[in-house]
């Protein structure tokens, strides 16, 4: 159960541990740079302890402060490591709305591709409003002005010496000659379920859905095979059809944007069809494909045997 902090004294906040940090990563086993960023995340959390009275109204548990500290530190790690997650969001927002960030205007001090306090302002607003679904906090609340500047001071002091997490990049790359749909699906899963930017969104929503399925299966005494089928369906629905709260983009669109238009598979990824449900007629097969017809629409499909 989350640790309630409504009446908690500042010294009762818990330390961030490595499992808290790697919860926002696409890998489970820690790498060398994780220790550095874990220490940095704890420094960010210490700042929240100092600002406890300012930010306490937004959260109900110490776990939220831990996740937020790891979330913001992961933004810093992303920029340092060139993982391109944040830069992709800024670029897509610019394409869609002719400005780099929602709500916040940038000035001559804003440096593309580097850390900026306006980025932290938006990330802080986004995290709080995604976690707290019962009300919306105005983006021009004073907290989104003061706290980002102080967090920025921590990051700026480390900017020149922070190590790159070279291990992280490979989880968002796709072989230009890739032909396996499941490999692409795994990369989309890394984006939606194991990336800091979507931690308060698709990651937590998927976790809640799976928890409810498991709890219901236990209550109804359903067999494990049925439970796994439901879990698989929820995962596929999220991977194929659920848009993120940021920019209302689906997983395949984020993957294509992350890879860039120069990637040989850019258009193929965007053209992946939605998952189609229903009954099908078997029409035949050859060495590579099975030919089927969707009964409801009479649409013809080739289903690869691979």
Domain ranges of the chain: 10-170, 174-270, 276-306
pTM: 0.88
Write out the two tokens for 190.
């890394």
- Whether the CA torsion 97, 98, 101, 103 is positive or negative: it is negative
The size of the chain, in residues, is 306
Mean pLDDT of 149-178: 96
pLDDT tens for 212-245 read 888 888 887 778 888 888 888 888 888 988 999 9
Asked whether the beta carbons of 70 and 23 are under 8 A apart, the reply is: yes
Q: State how far the alpha carbon of 242 is from the alpha carbons of 13, 77, 233, 256, 265, in Å.
A: 35, 27, 12, 16, 22
Higher pLDDT, 278 or 201: 201
Asked whether the beta carbons of 224 and 230 are under 8 A apart, the reply is: no
Q: State how far the alpha carbon of 22 is from the alpha carbons of 8, 71, 153, 288, in Å.
A: 26, 11, 24, 40
Query: Mean pLDDT for the chain?
Result: 89
Buried b (16+ CB within 10 A) or exposed e, 84-93: bbbbbbbbbb
Give the relative orientation of helices 32-50 and 143-158 as an angle to the nearest 10 degrees.
140
pLDDT tens for 63-78 read 889 999 999 999 999 9
* Per-residue confidence (pLDDT) for residue 9, from 0 to 100: 45
Phi, psi of 97 (to 5 degrees): -125, 5
Asked whether the beta carbons of 148 and 124 are under 8 A apart, the reply is: yes
* Per-residue confidence (pLDDT) for residue 57, from 0 to 100: 65
Q: State how far the alpha carbon of 40 is from the alpha carbons of 123, 151, 158, 204, 230, in Å.
A: 17, 11, 9, 23, 39
For the ranges 5-14, 103-112, 257-266, the maximum mean pLDDT occurs at: 257-266
3-state secondary structure of 4: strand
Straight-line distance from the first to the last Cα atom of the chain, in angstroms, rounded to the nearest whole number:
44
- Checking if the pLDDT of 291 tops 70, the result is yes
131-135, 266-270, 292-296: segment of lowest average pLDDT: 131-135
């Amino acid at each position: 159960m989350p640790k309630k902090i409504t009446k908690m004294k500042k010294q009762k906040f818990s330390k961030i541990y490595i499992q808290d940090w790697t919860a926002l990563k696409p890998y489970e086993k820690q790498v060398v740079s994780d220790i550095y960023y874990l220490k940095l995340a704890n420094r960010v959390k210490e700042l929240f302890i100092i600002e406890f009275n300012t930010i306490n109204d937004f959260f109900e548990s110490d776990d939220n402060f831990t996740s937020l500290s790891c979330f913001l530190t992961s933004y810093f790690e992303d920029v340092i490591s060139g993982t391109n997650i944040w830069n992709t969001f800024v670029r897509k927002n610019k394409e869609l709305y002719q400005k780099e960030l929602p709500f916040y205007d940038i000035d001559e001090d804003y440096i593309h591709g580097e850390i900026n306090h306006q980025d932290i302002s938006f990330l802080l607003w986004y995290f709080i409003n995604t976690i707290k679904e019962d009300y919306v906090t105005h983006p021009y609340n004073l907290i989104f002005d003061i706290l980002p500047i102080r967090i920025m001071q921590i990051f700026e002091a480390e900017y020149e010496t922070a190590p790159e997490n070279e291990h992280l990049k490979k989880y968002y790359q796709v072989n230009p000659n890739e032909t396996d749909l499941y490999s692409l699906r795994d990369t989309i899963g890394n984006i939606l379920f194991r990336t800091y930017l979507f931690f308060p969104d698709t990651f937590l929503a998927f976790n809640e859905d799976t928890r409810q399925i498991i709890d219901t299966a236990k209550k109804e005494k359903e067999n494990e095979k049925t439970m796994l089928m439901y879990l698989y369906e929820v995962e596929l629905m999220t991977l194929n059809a659920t848009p993120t709260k940021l920019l209302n983009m689906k997983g395949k669109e984020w993957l294509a944007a992350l890879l860039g238009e120069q990637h040989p598979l850019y258009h193929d990824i965007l053209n992946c069809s939605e998952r189609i449900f229903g009954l099908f007629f078997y029409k035949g097969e050859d060495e590579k494909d099975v030919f089927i017809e969707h009964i409801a629409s009479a649409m013809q499909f080739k289903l690869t045997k691979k």
